[in-house]
Copies of this chain bind each other. A is one copy, B any other.
Amino acid sequence: MSRDPAEDGRTRRANDRRENRRAEILRAALEVFGRQGYHATSVADILDAAGIARGTFYLYFDGKSPIFLELLDSLLAELRASIVGVETDSASPPIEFQLVSTVRNILDTVVKNRLLARIIVREAVGLDSEAEQRLRAFYAALLRYIELSLVEGRRLGVIRKIDVEVAAMCVLGTIKQFVEQVVVAGEDATFDVDRMALAVLDFNLRGLLAVPSD
């Protein structure tokens, strides 16, 4: 059952090549999906971009929907990682700081993966229900996270008396709008993520009114 070292080396090299190939196809798919959207992209487009044959594609992926799902999952994973849990120990940084940090992280991730984010933000539905479900689950989780943060904030007295459900939705809305902005922008636009994160947070924390009557 055990293979000889020579074989192992060969196998490893083969596996490496396989992984490279896979990554190359993913990269190509990301590019065309990002440029044309999910529906306007045919498998042939991915083939051309990757420079592979029809059959080869199906050697690495089960189809158009699965490869898109994989791209979607990888972005959602990155986004999840960019959201740090709210720490309320006296030792942790203040919640406001944690929030701005999370907002910045999200925007950072989006800016870095603009191509992929574009697909996800702008084609939220009409994919297959699989992709739709995962996206919805992600947003639900994000909303829950924001709500929890707000509840904590209330408990600590930093957040005023407010309907946390409504407030969480508003916060999510402002973030999504900025993601959309990034995503809609041309390929070569640059963003001052720090400034943007601060501005969004400032709006969320202090609102519009000049003389807030609490």
Taken together as a complex, chains A and B put the C-alpha atoms of A203 and B150 apart, in Å, by 13
Taken together as a complex, chains A and B put the C-alpha atoms of A169 and B85 apart, in Å, by 26
Chain B residue nearest to A153 (CB atoms) is B208
- Within A194-213, the residues touching B (CB, 8 Å) are 196, 199-200, 202-212
Which secondary structure characterizes the binding site on chain A?
A: helix
Report if A174 contacts B (CB, 8 A).
yes
Chain B residue nearest to A175 (CB atoms) is B173
- Within A138-174, the residues touching B (CB, 8 Å) are 150, 153, 157-163, 166-167, 169-174
Chain B's nearest CB lies how many Å from the CB of A120? 11
Instruction: For A207, list chain B residues within 8 Å (CB).
Output: 203-207, 212
Asked whether A170 lies within 8 Å of B200 as measured between CB atoms, the reply is yes
Instruction: For A214, list chain B residues within 8 Å (CB).
Output: 206, 210, 212
Taken together as a complex, chains A and B put the C-alpha atoms of A136 and B171 apart, in Å, by 22
